[in-house]
Amino acid sequence: MTEVTRSHTGPRMSQIVTHNGTIYLAGQVGTAGDTVAAQTKTCLENIDRLLAEAGSDKTRILQTIIWLADMKDFAEMNAEWDAWVPQGHTPARAAGEAKLATPDYLVEFIVTAAKA
């Protein structure tokens, strides 16, 4: 049986779960009250840091799911995403609108990646 590893585990969730060479990150959010651009940058920085800790990087992302509190912010979020995501390594991706944990959060990223 392949081992499941968990990092930054709390009572409700783990920030990183790895199983069978696949890395699952918890939803990443930015700083409440920041603009969607600033929150997106923070999310992407968190993703970089967590993937590195798990032995991977953004070129190995398989899928990203993005939740926006309001789809009117789609272009602003995409501007940050497009500057960050490595061309030729873009993952499968979906984006939609959802109520997030608090109204101060404007965007949340959920990432699945392969271990390097």
| Tokens describing residue 83 | 């500057």
* Rounded Cα–Cα distance for residues 38 and 90 (Å): 21
Per-residue pLDDT tens digits for 23-64: 999 999 999 999 999 999 999 999 999 999 999 999 999 999
* Rounded Cα–Cα distance for residues 81 and 58 (Å): 12
Using the Cα atoms of residue 83, residue 16, residue 35 and residue 103 in order, give the sign of their dihedral: positive
| Tokens describing residue 72 | 């009117």
In which element (H, E) is residue 6 found?
A: strand 4-9
Three-state DSSP string of 41-108: HHHHHHHHHHHHHHCCCHHHEEEEEEEECCHHHHHHHHHHHHHHCCCCCCCEEEEEECCCCCCCCCEE
Give pTM, 2 decimals.
0.95
| Tokens describing residue 55 | 């032995």
Per-residue pLDDT tens digits for 88-115: 999 999 999 999 999 999 999 999 999 9
Domains of the chain: 4-114 (3.30.1330.40)
